Amino acid sequence: MLFLPNSSHILPEIVTALVAAYLGHVTVSIADKPVTRPNAGNRLRLRAKTARQRFLETDVTTEQHEQIMEYCLKNKISVSQFLADLILEDAATAKTRKAAVRVSLDLDFSAEEYEKLELLVHLHRKNSISLLIRDLLQPHLDLQRLHIPGETKSLRLYLSDREHEIVTKHFASRGITARKYVSFLALKAIAKSPKSRKESQNNAVSRD
């Protein structure tokens, strides 16, 4: 608020100049639309022993970013909490993963392609096509930095010092990075959600 002295000796020009100078330092900012927090109206994340000032980032495509934002808005959970809960749960259950997983592939090859596969098995001195495919995939599985095509965006998850220590040790033991793995967990969780499964079933019915 601008206060002016109660004096008749102040000329109108001076008053006008003072008001103009005052208003010139006032900036009015109007946002295009209010920012909506995904967790608005829901309980906030439980406090940690220390402030959550550490953070990690994970990469997503534009389409994946929209899926994650839509899921968080519908479930009233912040993106940071959603991602942090997933990776902390993954780290907590990692010690129980001991059994190997057998994958059965059902691939179609032409007769000529199959003959070439058999020749490759012979040349690489493998006992089966499965062993050959395994050896071909292994270098990619050994890579710690996985690459995805196209432009990506970054999503950030905030962690306390203890949470950050747990997660980084988990990544080191698995030979993976937050950049790709956390977003993978998020999309996997969204795909398993009841609404996502229902939409998939409806799409399958419509295609039939």
Whole-number pLDDT of residue 167: 94
- For residue 6, is it within any domain? no
Mean pLDDT computed over every residue of the chain: 76
- For residue 38, is it within any domain? no
Whole-number pLDDT of residue 23: 47
> What's the mean pLDDT in 180-197?
86
- For residue 32, is it within any domain? no
Where residue 7 falls among pLDDT bands split at 50, 70, 90?
A: very low
Q: Which of 58, 54, 55 is nearest to 179 (CA)?
A: 58
Whole-number pLDDT of residue 138: 79
Where residue 173 falls among pLDDT bands split at 50, 70, 90?
A: confident
3-state secondary structure the chain: CCCCCCCCCCCHHHHHHHHHHHHHCCCCCCCCCCCCCCCCCCCCCCCCCCCCCEEEEEEECHHHHHHHHHHHHHHCCCHHHHHHHHHHHHHHHHHHCCCCCCCCCCCCCCHHHHHHHHHHHHHCCCCCHHHHHHHHHHHHHHCCCCCCCCCCEEEEEEECHHHHHHHHHHHHHHCCCHHHHHHHHHHHHHHHCHHHHHHHHHHHHHHC
Whole-number pLDDT of residue 95: 72
- For residue 171, is it within any domain? yes
- For residue 17, is it within any domain? no
- For residue 165, is it within any domain? yes
> What's the mean pLDDT in 82-103?
84
Instruction: Quickly tell me which residue has 């956390």 as its tokens.
Output: 182
Each residue of 134-166: pLDDT tens digit? 888 877 776 655 555 567 889 999 999 999 999
Number of domains making up the chain? 1
Domain carrying residue 169 = 49-93+108-194
